[in-house]
Chains A and B, each alone.
Chain A
Amino acid sequence: MRVTVWGCRGSVATPGPETVTYGGNTACVEVALDDDVALVLDAGTGIRELGFDLQRRDVRHVHLCLTHLHLDHLEGLRFFAPLWDNGVTLDIWGPPSKLLSLRQRIARYFSPPLFPIELRDVPARLSFNDVEHRTWTIGEAEITADLVLHPGPTVGYRVELAGASFAYIPDHEPALAGMLRERSPDWISGSALAADVDLVVHDAQFFEDEYPQYVGWGHSSVADAVAFATAAGARRLLLFHHEPRHSDRVLERLEDRARELAARDGLAPPALAREGMVVELPSRGRA
């Protein structure tokens, strides 16, 4: 399995000289399936460059799994080149709401005064699918979605392919439901998604001393990210949803802190997600 990071900034796109190393685009990650089908996680501004890349690769079928509909996970969709190609099929998966369908909620972003073109006028063939607590397959990959702790309906995803496993939980505050180190894993939000995975991409927006100002906003401290990965038994942790105010230099201090904490837990050294980063997860025989 090959995982490519196209955007890893949290909350709002943050271009500029201080963010060139780790990038300023908001959440978007691609999981390579086969040559004809793409699996994309979230549609932050990082999806714009990915769209051009998919066109170059002539990918005609895209599965887009949205964790939730906050703007930093959706704002790039309108500028996703395959959306404007009538030869492309785009299957969109996302968390349900009691009031409006996924299509209706996404259509809000494709309507005046926010955008001049209506969703119904988009050329690509679209489908909308609710996911909340289920497992399904896309090609050879098995995808599992489950609700996780974040304001509003939000899911995380687990992807398994050829014995390799990957969890994507970019916006997550599991510590809001209690101290992670005091809980058994079955009482920790998202733990089943990340159980024993080869790689978990997880929210680590704040330093520990920043977090108390933002309790309940739906994001994690670096300490909680490490504690979560440890509790779930993940083999590697990729720190994600970088705080917009954090420059590259500050992020590197956050990575140092994560490694210090991980060493105490016996977790492999975590790394910062970086735009353009490619992580290869080796195939393994299925048990």
Chain B
Amino acid sequence: MERRPQKHLLLILARELASNLATPTLIADAEGTLVFYNEAAEEIVGRPFTEAGEMPVDEWTRAFEPRAPTGEPLAAERRPVRIALDEHRPSHQTMRVTGADGVERDVAVTGFPLFAHSEEFVGIVAIFWRE
């Protein structure tokens, strides 16, 4: 299967779901590469995914300077995206971010892992809820 790479079927299905959601949603693969975010997330990011392309998910997250609601920086290991990637478990966290438009927003982020039939970890989904 090295001939031509293909995304895991679960990621393909997750992308189709995310494409139809009005809620900002991102998808990363098992290696932590951001492979898709939807139109709703474009509002926060400031540019479409087709323009941004794939990138390490931490790089994407850093751009928003995630902070605790009280203002102090939020360590990576407390962020739902990292928890889902590293610990393969769901988590939920309220945080403050600065969007591409420079506006501060309080959002709640839910991150959860995706497992294929045989417990094979294939990636994560993170959903951003506006507070």
CA A153 – CA B10 in complex, angstroms? 12
Contacts A178-B16, A189-B12 given; indicate if A132 touches B7 (C-beta within 8 A): no
- Let me know if B21 is at the binding interface, CB within 8 A: no
The contact of B12 among A133, A188, A195, by CB within 8 Å, is A188
Give Cα A133 to B6, complex, Å: 12
Enumerate chain A interface residues (CB-CB to B < 8 A). Answer: 95-98, 130, 132-133, 135, 144, 146-149, 153, 176-178, 185-189, 191-192, 195-196
Q: What is the CA–CA distance of A67 and B19 in the complex, to the nearest angstrom?
A: 29
- List chain B positions with a Cβ less than 8 A from chain A: 1, 3-9, 12-13, 15-16, 19, 116-118, 120
Report the Cα distance A177→B27, complex, angstroms. Answer: 15
User: Nearest chain A CB to B25's CB is how many angstroms away?
Assistant: 15
**How many Cβ-Cβ contacts under 8 Å join chain A to chain B?**
62
For the complex, give the distance between the alpha carbons of A144 and B6 in Å.
Answer: 13
Task: List the A side residues contacting B118 at CB < 8 Å.
Answer: 96, 130, 132
Interface SS of chain B: helix, strand, loop or mixed?
loop
Residues of A within 8 A of B13 (CB): 149, 177
The listed residue (B4, B16, B116, B117) touching A192 by CB distance below 8 A is B4
Q: Kindly state the separation between the CA atoms of A4 and B129 in the bound complex, as whole angstroms.
A: 54
Is B9 touching A191 in the complex (CB atoms < 8 A)?
no
Contact of A98 among B16, B19, B117 (CB under 8 A): B117
Q: How far is the CA of A186 from the CA of B36 in the complex (A)?
A: 13
Given the interface pairs A133-B116, A153-B117, the reply to whether A196 lies near B4 with Cβ below 8 Å is yes
What are the 4 tightest A-B residue pairs by CB atom distance, in nearest-first order?
A192-B6, A195-B4, A177-B16, A147-B9
